[in-house]
Chain A
Amino acid sequence: MTGWRLFFLAAIVLAAAPFGLPIFAMTLLTEALILGLLAMSLDLMVGYTRLISFGHAAAYGLGAYASGYLLLHTALPLPVAVLAAALLAGVVAIGVAWVCTMATGVSFSMLTLAFAQLLYAVAFKWTSVTGASDGLAGIPRHPGPFGITVFQTKNGYYYLVLVCLLGAYVFCRALVSSPFGAVLRGIRENEAKTLSLGYNTRLYKIAVVALSFALGGLAGALYSPFAGFANTELLFWLFSGQVLIMVIVGGQGTLIGPILGAAFFMLLEHVLSAYTESWALFFGLIFIGFVMFAPQGIWGLLTSRRPKNARI
């Protein structure tokens, strides 16, 4: 039960944040929560199923472009456009996962990377939808038929993001604690055995990739109306790697860890970029350090659990 007590405490603190923090900090926090949602969605694949995806920027980019396009070309109210974009990412992911799960292990990772690169190339070429290298700019936040304008304010939007993150967390927690989640853990530890026990493991993997992409797409769909734009940067392969860093550094297989990892990442970028242009260098070093010496990540260190992927 302490887990849920911690959850409610965190929810209350985050809900109170707009009353205590200056505007620029709220902008950072909103972005950190969006990235946290993205990293948490990747954790379903990486931490719970050991499907190492190097293409999670695809989920984010899909969601960002889809919600941006819907808001620019239709009058759909903001929350509807965001949810539709997330749904689209999940549906596309079914096809992607069908292909990628033909391979296992490292080949799977490479296929996810290849798919994200393909999407990146499409975003550059499909000018009428994606705006090519200019991207989509001036994305509005429509009030919709009921005239809901609250999301047009900074704090209003923050609460929308917060509700999405908390909702997604509860969803993911329930998912990984369910019989479905038990099968995912089985795949993580011994896929061949899981198959021989009568589970259609490929179907489970496709399902978890679709869910992971839908939530990652939700994060992207929240980002583009927040930033006002969507561009090919969101689909770049280095960004996929950064999301993976957030998951590993935060602590894979914990859901909370990746959210902390995203916040840590944002904070570090913010602090380091004030001193040096080469913050990516330090990121690389910190990341290598975590993989080598603390594979359980920040959350793992805090709760001092047994390292999850250390084989002694």
Chain B
Amino acid sequence: MLLLTCPCCGLSVEETELAPGGEAHLKRVGPDGSDTSFEQYLFKRENRKGVHFERWRHAYGCGKWFLAARDTATLEVFGTYPAQTTEPPAEIRMKIEKGSRG
């Protein structure tokens, strides 16, 4: 069972308490964006085999969205962080680098 720590309420919770929300850090294009960039935003997921940044919601808890870094090939979780970020924080990046070196 996947365990994630909700950065909003601080609880370590099981997957059944969470709702998955897909890839994180998607950039939504503005009104003058091209069809291709809008397609990218809507459908073309990275679907990475390896480190994946993704959205989760603590649905049966505090109800808040948060983000997680997880390896889709090993199921290793590198950590969770608040949703109010446009890119993974330095601390998470360090953990990932350390993990992939090990």
Q: Do A and B bind each other?
A: no
- A interface residue numbers (CB < 8 A to B): none
